[in-house]
Amino acid sequence: MTPIAVDFIVLGILLVSALVSFARGFAHEVLTYGAFIGSVFVMLLGVPFVQPYMMEIISTEWIAAIASGAVLFVASMVIFTMIIHRISDAIHKTSLSGLDRTLGFGIGVLRGALIVCLIYLPLAWLWPQEKQPSWLMQAKTRPFVVAGAELLKGMVPTNAPSSEKPIQLLPEKTQIEAPTAQDPVSQLPPVSEGGYSDPDRLEMDGLVDETLPPEDDNAW
């Protein structure tokens, strides 16, 4: 394998994908993706209804579920494909045919680039950069493929919270101090129930009388 061969393979995938989309047209390509997604929904929603009838033919439950899903998916794709062909043929007979094919060529290039990046990701996992062969490292298209692969990796969430650790809605300090908060009144020292005894009161009254000066009746 040589670096030029790698470049030809990458460019070949892009060109084939672009030509196929150019022949089909933009509307056909977009509707095809929509048909695939629609068939998946039909399969997921229809399996519970079809599986009981499939169980009459296949006794194993999980095999019957897989068979039901496969039948629903294939049948839905066939129906959607027939509708797509009619819509695509109608568009190609109008003045929008050129624009439809041009946009289809562009979406084909993007699809080819996606295919190349998806092929490179497992290769990069098997061969770290320091161990990759020279024919791959020296390819002219490698920087573009690496950039696309990194872009795809960046779209994958890596900081999702673990289900084993509960999510804290309040700060840790608040969560620790809140349960121990008490009424400020409860922090006051207890008041003595007995108070002063009667002899103590009399003694204190006497001391107060001795301390205060005698009242002058002629002050007024």
For the cut 70, the answer to whether the pLDDT of residue 165 exceeds it is no
Domain tally, the chain: 1
110 located within any domain: yes
Query: The dihedral of CA 112, 115, 119, 120: what is its sign?
Result: positive
Binned at pLDDT 50, 70 and 90, residue 18 comes out as: very high
45-83 burial string, b = 16+ CB within 10 Å, else e? ebbeebbeebbeeeeeeeebbebbbeebbeebbeebeee
206 located within any domain: no
pTM for this predicted structure = 0.58
194 located within any domain: no
211 located within any domain: no
220 located within any domain: no
Residue in the structure block whose two tokens are 């670096």: 3
What is residue 13's predicted lDDT score, i.e. its pLDDT? 94
90-94, 165-169, 184-188, 207-211: which is most confident: 90-94
134 located within any domain: yes
pLDDT digits (tens, 9 = 90+) for 107-136: 999 999 999 999 988 888 888 777 888 888
Binned at pLDDT 50, 70 and 90, residue 22 comes out as: very high
Range of the domain at 135: 3-154
For the cut 70, the answer to whether the pLDDT of residue 140 exceeds it is yes
197 located within any domain: no
215 located within any domain: no
